Structure 1
Amino acid sequence: MAFKVAFIGAGSIGFTRSLLQDLLAVPEFQDIEISFTDISQNNLNMVTELCQRDIDENGLNITIQSTKNRRAALKNAKYVFVVVRVGGLEAFQTDIDVPLAYGIDQCVGDTLSAGGIMYGQRGIPVMLDFCKDIREVAHPDCLMLNYANPMAMMTWAANKYGGVKTIGLCHGVQGGHRQIADVLGLKQEEVDIVCAGINHQTWYVQVKHNGNDMTGKLLEAFENHPDYSKTEKVRIDMLRRFGYYSTESNGHLSEYLPWYRKRPEETKNWIHLDSWIHGETGGYLRVCIEGRNWFETDFPNWMKEPPLHYSPEYRGQEHGSYIIEGLETGRTYRGHFNVINHGVINNLPDDAVIEAPGYVDANGINMPIVGDLPLGCAAVCHTSISVQRLAVEAAVHGNDQLLRQAMMMDPLTGAVCTPPEIWQMTDELLTIQSKWLPQYEDAVSEAQDRLKSEHLLPTKSFEGAARIKVKSVEEMKKDRKEASKNAGAADKA
């Protein structure tokens, strides 16, 4: 088979290399074209060199087209992976640190809460630029496979305003599926699930083993698990109170809700510090900084390690390669995908981006009707969808009034801050991130004028309930294996 796959944000070592491994593990795909593009020539060079070495060592006759010219990379592409982080770690740092001064303690800050909303403001205009290029130079039936966060907002904007068919992909459902099988003492393939909701707030509404419903057994099983009972307290509490387990990690989930991170003295009761993903303040930012520093320092050693193997037994569970395989070969694949609702989940808005089970084959991507979510689960999703809709429209139109309203409606931000504090914090974020927010030129100027006032509200010197210091490269050298693992996991450019 001969078609072209492009990666935008290919400098993301964690996703680009593993997605390419998954893709080239498909026997029919050993003659496809691959193109990489990124705004960082240095990152692009390193990842291209590493991935080309993998390709060559696997005996494939593929030469990566590596270029900073995005339109050249997209020319005639039939599939486009998006793995970008607009603003990089510089902007990400402000997503975490500015809200902290107002008491908003985020673990990740890339989906909801103040950080996720601002991430969307930076990412959506760039995503629409990608769409314009795809419409003009890519294959007429090009499919965009979006891994960039905030997943729902980016996918929503691309479908509504970008004119490019876009499907959002995430691995949260697979991760929770493994946990559920684990607590039930079963293998993942022995547990059949239906998971539905919105990205990072998707609910396992059906859990079966040999046709028997296991949903009612999950709470006791999780409460008695030696590890999850300590590391997944927020998820277990939501299971206790809403009746269904949620896909997202403890740290992620805690920042999407108004109850678990609003009082610093209580936050530690809900999180665990064995891993950043269980709730550490700014945890994902820390591992991304460490991962970047380590990869740049240790890259020569990565080139000395054995190459990745392109074969089925080493293939991961990310949906992207399986979707392309289904569309191109006709082999059926079942996964969970982020798409515009269009009635798949009856009691969520039709225009929202939902995450639900889908099937892929040569006929396309098909989304069966899920029906109604349980009422409480739907209510949690509705709150987040309102924030997402406001944030998408704000980003597309450069409307800072809608941006401020999105901040007010955000569950954690609203639980911690007063309206005047939210207004002032938004002024700070617009000002400090102005170089990535061209659509807000007038609003930024007005925000800068307000911040010169002598009557600003006081902020806090607040490091968060559970902040951990970023390790130096010298400290990471003491455990090179762990540092390399961390660098590979610090996904998205």
Structure 2
Amino acid sequence: MTGTLKIVLVGAGSREFGPASIRDLLLSDPLCDHGLDIVLVDLDASELERTRAYADSVAERLGRSVSLSATTDLPDALPDADAVVMAIELRRYFYWAQDFHVPRTFGSSQIYGENGGPGGLFHALRNMGAAVDVARAMEMHCPEAWLLNYTNPLTKLCEAQTRLSSVRVVGLCHGVFHGTEQMARLLDLPPERLEARASGLNHFTWFESVRDRETGEDLYPRLREREREAHWLHDWDEIALSRILFRVFDRYPSPGANHIGEYLGWAREFLGSSLLQFFYDPVQGAPWETEETPTWIYNLGDHPTDVPLFPGSPLSRVRDGDEDGGDGEHGDASDRPLAPSGELAIPLLEGVLCDVDTRLDAVNVPNAGYVPGLPEDAVVEVPARASGSGLQPATMARLPEGILGLLRTQATINRLLVDAFSTGSRQTLLQAMLLDPTTHSYRAAVQTINEMFRLQGDVLPTLEW
């Protein structure tokens, strides 16, 4: 490809995605050598200006001569774009607290509320309209561009974008690296020694093979031995569920208990921190009534004992309502090291736009035989290679039938959710919820749907019974 490359970042005002993507773009020699036109897009003009200032400072530090612009008008940003990279969210922790607690109030056994379970359905619906709008705007203004999506729930949103538009959509997530790191610890090897290939659904993948890059040794036999020898309580909240699944299904899963457990009805006994996430005292009112989003921790590894005694104390290590968690990279960045984020969008773009042969550990794309045993066109996660010839997802070995059974249920739920969104049907949404392993009763499912629409009706698409 010749000429300047135009990359549009949608959701650039984010405290995490915006700065990280800017660094990755400006650190890329192949992309910058072509010439870069970076367009920052966000609905929040004030955050957008902060991101623009950060981008200017990074470009100056790196001596990069690039075109930088910012706009709140997506159609204005898209013409002639080569790629659109998106990460969007609306009052993430405020609404997420509802996703976590409301289904449990009605008896759901979900342990988390981001990607799976009833909470994940509503998280997806809140983002689905905007995600599809981006794809449809691209159909009009840059139909040949790549759409790279980081937004969760990744599989559900990519399913909507691929089924309801004609643009090239690739979902990207770093979750598979967590599983690789966990296996490396069990094996007492550096993670870079592991050649690990996984397939399945995002946040619910299973390693087909694990080999030593230096010797070619199949490490699965050794991993089975080491897992049996390991102390059960080590890093319980992150890997205990993975270890049980490994013992039962004979493949190590990824990324960790919070995410994997969203797709299982029996995972709560393997996540000690489940009831600490967004903890609040109901006597003092629900956080969505007081609009004081409670403390968020990922799991016990976030060290809740380090929470300060009083708000504002300097020991705070938790996230309490910032849209993307933490204070990100805005502000004075002059003395911070500039290092790649490890995310996969820019390596993928170096491949398809600059013809750099690139190995990608995980891409989320419509299934075309890549994961045998799962429905065609369902969005699946597999390794891939990117080059000037395009993106080449790997065709993986067939997973054991027990694993495929778990995955097929989720693939059907994802399809029903997109159907519910596209037809405006709460009845179809109810089908998806009744298929979910964490739903225990018909009445509770109906009550959950009605209550979530009561609480989030202003940010959810219109669905009727």
Superposition deviation, residue 200 in structure 1: 0.7
In structure 2, how many angstroms separate the alpha carbons of the residues matched to 1:231 and 1:133? Answer: 39
In structure 2, how many angstroms separate the alpha carbons of the residues matched to 1:170 and 1:221? Answer: 28
Q: Aligned in 2, Cα 1:173/1:267: closer, same or farther, shift over 3 Å?
A: closer
Aligned to 1:172: 175
Aligned to 1:125: 129
- After superposition, residues 94-105 of structure 1 pair within 5 angstroms as 94-104=98-108
Instruction: Give the aligned length.
Output: 425
Equivalent position to 2:264, from 257, 267, 271: 257
Task: Determine if the alignment matches structure 1 residue 135 to structure 2 residue 161.
Answer: no
Report if the CA contact (8 A) 2:249-2:402 is conserved. yes
Report if the CA contact (8 A) 2:359-2:386 is conserved. yes
Report if the CA contact (8 A) 1:74-1:137 is conserved. yes
2:385 partner SS: strand
In structure 2, how many angstroms separate the alpha carbons of the residues matched to 1:308 and 1:62? Answer: 20
Task: Determine if the alignment matches structure 1 residue 327 to structure 2 residue 361.
Answer: no
In structure 1, how many angstroms separate the alpha carbons of the residues matched to 2:271 and 2:336? Answer: 41
Task: Determine if the alignment matches structure 1 residue 277 to structure 2 residue 280.
Answer: no
In structure 1, how many angstroms separate the alpha carbons of the residues matched to 2:430 and 2:318? Answer: 29
Aligned to 2:459: 436
Q: Aligned in 2, Cα 1:354/1:292: closer, same or farther, shift over 3 Å?
A: closer
In structure 2, how many angstroms separate the alpha carbons of the residues matched to 1:45 and 1:307? Answer: 20
2:253 partner SS: coil
Aligned to 1:183: 186
- After superposition, residues 212-251 of structure 1 pair within 5 angstroms as 212-225=217-230, 227-228=234-235, 231-251=238-258
In structure 2, how many angstroms separate the alpha carbons of the residues matched to 1:329 and 1:294? Answer: 33
In structure 1, how many angstroms separate the alpha carbons of the residues matched to 2:19 and 2:181? Answer: 23
What amino acid is the match of 1:176? G
What amino acid is the match of 1:422? A
Task: Determine if the alignment matches structure 1 residue 390 to structure 2 residue 416.
Answer: yes
Superposition deviation, residue 351 in structure 1: 2.0
1:144 partner SS: strand
2:16 partner SS: helix
Identity %: 25
- After superposition, residues 69-218 of structure 1 pair within 5 angstroms as 69-86=73-90, 88-104=92-108, 106=110, 108-138=112-142, 140-209=143-212, 210-218=215-223
Q: Aligned in 2, Cα 1:351/1:10: closer, same or farther, shift over 3 Å?
A: same
Worse-matched range after superposition: 318-327 or 24-33: 24-33
Equivalent position to 1:303, from 311, 319, 332: 332
Aligned to 2:389: 363
Report if the CA contact (8 A) 2:272-2:300 is conserved. no
Aligned to 1:475: none
1:277 partner SS: coil
What amino acid is the match of 1:289? D
Q: Aligned in 2, Cα 1:162/1:4: closer, same or farther, shift over 3 Å?
A: same
In structure 2, how many angstroms separate the alpha carbons of the residues matched to 1:242 and 1:303? Answer: 49
In structure 1, how many angstroms separate the alpha carbons of the residues matched to 2:417 and 2:57? Answer: 41
Superposition deviation, residue 42 in structure 1: 2.5
Equivalent position to 2:444, from 421, 435, 453: 421
In structure 1, how many angstroms separate the alpha carbons of the residues matched to 2:412 and 2:251? Answer: 22
Task: Determine if the alignment matches structure 1 residue 339 to structure 2 residue 365.
Answer: yes
Task: Determine if the alignment matches structure 1 residue 317 to structure 2 residue 355.
Answer: no
- Post-superposition Cα deviations, 1:97-153, rounded to whole Å, max 9, x if no partner, equal 322312336554121111110112122222221112111122x42000010111111
In structure 2, how many angstroms separate the alpha carbons of the residues matched to 1:360 and 1:125? Answer: 29
2:254 partner SS: coil
What amino acid is the match of 2:356? R
In structure 1, how many angstroms separate the alpha carbons of the residues matched to 2:373 and 2:84? Answer: 31
In structure 1, how many angstroms separate the alpha carbons of the residues matched to 2:424 and 2:275? Answer: 38
In structure 1, how many angstroms separate the alpha carbons of the residues matched to 2:153 and 2:340? Answer: 26
In structure 2, how many angstroms separate the alpha carbons of the residues matched to 1:398 and 1:142? Answer: 29
Aligned to 1:43: 47
Answer 1 or 2: higher relative contact order, Cα 8 Å, separation at least 6: 1
Report if the CA contact (8 A) 1:151-1:168 is conserved. yes
- TM-score by length of structure 2 reads 0.84
Superposition deviation, residue 77 in structure 1: 1.3
Superposition deviation, residue 270 in structure 1: 8.3
Superposition deviation, residue 353 in structure 1: 0.6
What amino acid is the match of 2:245? M
In structure 2, how many angstroms separate the alpha carbons of the residues matched to 1:243 and 1:163? Answer: 38
In structure 1, how many angstroms separate the alpha carbons of the residues matched to 2:437 and 2:68? Answer: 44
Q: Aligned in 2, Cα 1:270/1:307: closer, same or farther, shift over 3 Å?
A: closer
Worse-matched range after superposition: 163-172 or 189-198: 189-198
What amino acid is the match of 2:335? P
Report if the CA contact (8 A) 2:41-2:73 is conserved. yes
Equivalent position to 1:403, from 429, 435, 446: 429
Superposition deviation, residue 196 in structure 1: 0.6
1:180 partner SS: helix
Q: Aligned in 2, Cα 1:315/1:87: closer, same or farther, shift over 3 Å?
A: closer
| Runs of 4+ deviating beyond 6 Å | 270-275
Superposition deviation, residue 410 in structure 1: 1.1
Let me know the Cα RMSD of the aligned residues: 2.8
Q: Aligned in 2, Cα 1:231/1:119: closer, same or farther, shift over 3 Å?
A: closer
Report if the CA contact (8 A) 2:237-2:301 is conserved. no
What amino acid is the match of 1:25? L
Q: Aligned in 2, Cα 1:279/1:155: closer, same or farther, shift over 3 Å?
A: farther
In structure 2, how many angstroms separate the alpha carbons of the residues matched to 1:221 and 1:269? Answer: 23
Aligned to 1:18: 20
What amino acid is the match of 1:332? D
Report if the CA contact (8 A) 1:113-1:410 is conserved. yes
1:439 partner SS: coil
What amino acid is the match of 2:18? T
- TM-score by length of structure 1 reads 0.80
What amino acid is the match of 2:147? M
Report if the CA contact (8 A) 2:93-2:321 is conserved. no
Superposition deviation, residue 386 in structure 1: 1.5
Worse-matched range after superposition: 157-166 or 220-229: 220-229
In structure 1, how many angstroms separate the alpha carbons of the residues matched to 2:297 and 2:95? Answer: 20
Q: Aligned in 2, Cα 1:239/1:426: closer, same or farther, shift over 3 Å?
A: same
